[in-house]
Amino acid sequence: MSNKLDGKVAVITGAGRGIGREIALKLASEGARIVVNDLDIEPAQECVQAILDVGGVAVSCVGNVTATDFAERFIGTAVDSYKGLDIIVNNAGYTWDSVIQKMTDEQWYAMLDCHMTAPFRILRAAQPIIRSLAKVENEAGKRVVRKVVNTSSVAGLFGNAGQVNYAGAKAGIIGMTQTLAKEWGRMNVTVNCVAYGLIVTRLTAVTASEGATANIDGREIKVGVNPDLMAAMEKGIPLGHGGTPEEAAGAVYMFCIPESDYVSGQTLMCSGGLTGI
């Protein structure tokens, strides 16, 4: 284990699987103490155990990020467990696609709730904690830089057919990032965003024809990508392949380490060189 994040407290949503799990493992490997969130207890506990097995420190906070009481419980878990809060990664998300004329209000609001309202509530709940910690540190003449990393998508930058709900929400999180970078700079907090391209996770690894679903908040949401579309997408990536969750986690990690302490309000594309869709 390295120690670039030694003693830091990091909370990560959607960390039981995929990109979130790799972010949790990466930050833990650098010494961060982790709060792992997932919808389901099994993957959350598996991630916690994986961190403990290599000598790290982690606890879980299971629940749906869109629940009205989740944000306070999530931030409270970090404070109660570790007496601090240093890194917030808003990673949880999914897609629920349809062309606009067939998209329901439920689909629309589901994406806004998950990708915008949930991060908003989490950051709102965190602000008094961060403000209090920063005040004490400033009075002691100590400068501690904290980190927020939000996740967006190339769909939020360029749009994507069939994803007006998802793309709209992912564009919104970029605006939230830039606003909070201005609001929170006085508290020595950097606020940045990672916009992902094609990352191969459980939600994209299966083909649409397999009829696979994921249970999200009691809804069975179809997952998977048309194999011809997947091949076309990968062909358009300059690096020649969809990203792995480990590669995706690296982009978040860069915003969490001390080397990025003077980088804020930025959106980094993690897309293998893809600059439009």
Q: Which residues have C-beta within 8 Å of that of residue 164, sequence separation ≥ 6?
A: 100, 103, 108
Say how far apart CA 93 and CA 251 lie, in whole Å: 17
Q: Is 257 exposed, middle or buried (0-12, 13-18, 19+ CB in 10 A)?
A: middle
Tell me the sheet residues that pair with 10. Answer: 34, 87
2 touches 66 (CB < 8 A): no
> Tokens for 81?
């467990």
Distance CA 263, CA 49 (A): 33
Angle at 40 between CA 38 and CA 42, to 5 degrees: 105
What's the residue count for the chain? 277
Question: Could you list the active site residues?
Answer: 166
CB-CB neighbours of 102 under 10 Å: 9
